[in-house]
Amino acid sequence: MLRILNFCWLFTAMLATVGCASITHETSHPMRVETFTQEGQAVLGAECTLTNDYPATTGKSGRGVSVHRSSKDLDIACISQEHGLATGRAISRANAGMAGNLLFGGGIGVIIDHNKGTAYTYPTWVRLVFGQARTFDRRDEKDGHVVLGTSSDAAPLLADSQVPPVATPAAPPALRAAPLAVPQPAQRAAYIATGYAKIDDVDAIPFLNDNGRQSYRNWLTKGTPRAFAISPTGTLAASFGLKPGDETLPSDPVERAVVACNRISKTACRLYAVNGSVVWVKDAAPAAP
C-alpha cells in the first residue's frame, strides 16, 4: 500500500513539473530570398525588406537573412533599379513546437510561444518575380527546393488591408487624400541640407540596421538625380536616374523613393537625402515631397 502511495505521489509531481514545460524554438528564422525576372533570369543583390509585426529586416536577394518569427504573415518587397519591384507574402504556419506545448505543457506553453512568435515558421527559401506579387506557403515547401509560390495580384499584399496591391499604380488611401506633387526642376532647390548630418555620415541615419546602412553606402555611389527615403520601422527605398525599372513608379527619383518606400512600409516614409544633401529633419511630421 505504501509503495502505491509513493508511486501516486511521484506521478503527481511529474505532472506538475511537465505542466509548466514549454517546447520552444528560437525567435529568429533563417530565410533565403531570391529574385528573378519574368523571363527566368536570376537577379542578385536587389534591396529586400521583410516586414511582420516586429521591426523590419533588410537584406539582398540571393543571400541569407534572419527574420523574427511571428504569428503574422511576412511581407517581402525587393527593389531593383533595373527591374523594378518584386513582392510576396510568406504565410505564417504553426510548427511542431505548438503541438508539443499543447500535449505536454497545456495552454500555458502555447500562450507563451504564440506571444513570442516562436511557435510559428515561414518558408525558408522563396523566389520573387519582378512585376509580380506572389504568396508563399510553408505547406508547399520540400527540403532543398525553393518555394515558387502562387500569383496573388488580385489580393492585398501589404500588412494594411487598405493598401492596394503593388501591381496597382494608385497610391495608398492616405496618399490619395493628398496626392504627391511631382517636383519640377525649379522646385529642386527646396531640397537643401538641413544640417542634420553630412551626406557620407552613414552612422547618423536613424532606424536602419547594418544591411540598411550598407544600402545607403551603395546609394552614395550612384549618380544624380537621386533620393533616399526611410520609415520609422526600418523600411527604405533608394532611387536614382529618371527611368524606373517599374513603370508604375514615378520617373522623378524624389517622388519615386517616397512612393516605393510607402508601398512596403507600415508607417509613413520621409526623405532622408536628395542628391548630395541630407534633408532629414529630426522629429518632423511625415510629409510628401
Check pLDDT > 50 for residue 144.
yes
User: Which among 53, 69, 52, 75 is positioned nearest to 113, based on CA atoms?
Assistant: 69
What is the structure's pLDDT at 164?
39
Distances (CA, A) of 285 to 11, 15, 142, 190, 255: 61, 55, 46, 17, 17
Average pLDDT over residues 161-184: 42
Answer yes or no: is pLDDT of 280 > 90.
yes
pLDDT, average across residues 43-72? 91
**Residue 177 identity:** A
pLDDT single digits (tens) 73-90: 999 999 988 888 889 999
What's the pLDDT score for residue 152? 58
**pLDDT-wise least confident of 10-14, 113-117, 155-159, 179-183:** 155-159
C-alpha dist (Å) from residue 56 to 50, 138, 146: 6, 21, 23
H/E stretch holding 108 reads helix 106-116
pLDDT of residue 226: 93
Set of cell numbers at residue 22: 514549454
Give the pLDDT band (50/70/90) at residue 186: very low
Higher per-residue confidence, 14 vs 83: 83
Residue closest to 135 by CA, chosen among 194, 199, 91, 80 = 91
- State how far the Cα of 204 lies from the Cα of 202, in Å rounded to an integer: 5
Asked if 236 and 226 count as a contact pair (C-beta separation under 8 A), the reply is no
Strands 93-94 and 57-60: unpaired
Quick check: 9 pLDDT over 60? no
Give pTM, 2 decimals: 0.48
pLDDT in the model for residue 55: 87
Residue 163: per-residue pLDDT: 36
Reduce the DSSP state of residue 216 to 3 states and report it: helix
Mean pLDDT of 41-45: 92
